Amino acid sequence: MANTFYIVRHGQTNWNILGKTQGHGNSDLTEKGVEQANELAISLANNHKIDYIFSSDLGRAVQTANILGEGIGIKVCETPALREMGFGKWEGLLIDEIKVNYADIYNTWRNEPHLVEIPEGETLHIIKDRVDNFINELNSKYDNKHILLVTHSVTVRVMLLSFLNSGMENIYRIKQDNTALNIVEYRDYGPVIIKMNDTTHIKNNEKINNSALE
């Protein structure tokens, strides 16, 4: 069980720019998002040997993963295990709209995110169980492989917190920019985070800080 995981958030989307909440709902990559993915593909091809690519089955992640797969020369395998947290009634809403219409729930999301229950949405613990099971499946199936996972902001943070045996209440203590690269090595004593939120592959980086997680 000595796999190395390269965990990537999808490229910039139209909803990212607008500040709309993205969960299971989808928004296509912007021109900038495509550029970010292409730049990451070049960096991965030049610096890392990737054996497999798995992607969330949501459109923005698949679009990103396909660009990476074409650049590396590896076929993408889609899976719902890497989906973003479902935000239910919050899907497609601006943060200001959520603050007005779901004030109490939003307050919990900001201060006790591990306790939040968004109407028709998922909890952080559901995401944790989902990704933990998926990582365990990959580790039982592969050994000493380099595996690229293309997923989403909340999902990446949950994965990293889980690797650290840290509680979901710390979700805001980790930042994930579009196409950020995280590298995690599994060793005899467990996972080791080698790199986190690396965006050095992006030539003209633009930070977006209007999401519910910033």
Determine the pLDDT at residue 97. 95
**Closest Cα partner for 182 from 152, 138, 141?**
152
Determine the pLDDT at residue 211. 60
Kindly state the helix (H) or strand (E) to which residue 31 belongs, with its residue range: helix 31-47
Tell me the angle at which helices 31-47 and 59-72 cross, rounded to the nearest 10 degrees.
Answer: 40
Please give the Cα distance from 71 to 167 (Å, whole number). 36
Which residue positions in the chain have pLDDT lower than 70?
A: 1, 206-214
Give the active site residue among 24, 35, 39, 84: 84
Determine the pLDDT at residue 188. 87
10 carries an active-site annotation? yes
84 carries an active-site annotation? yes
Q: What is the pTM of this model?
A: 0.95
First to last CA, the chain: 34
CB of 34 within 8 A of CB of 60? no
Determine the pLDDT at residue 35. 97
Kindly state the helix (H) or strand (E) to which residue 69 belongs, with its residue range: helix 59-72
Determine the pLDDT at residue 205. 74
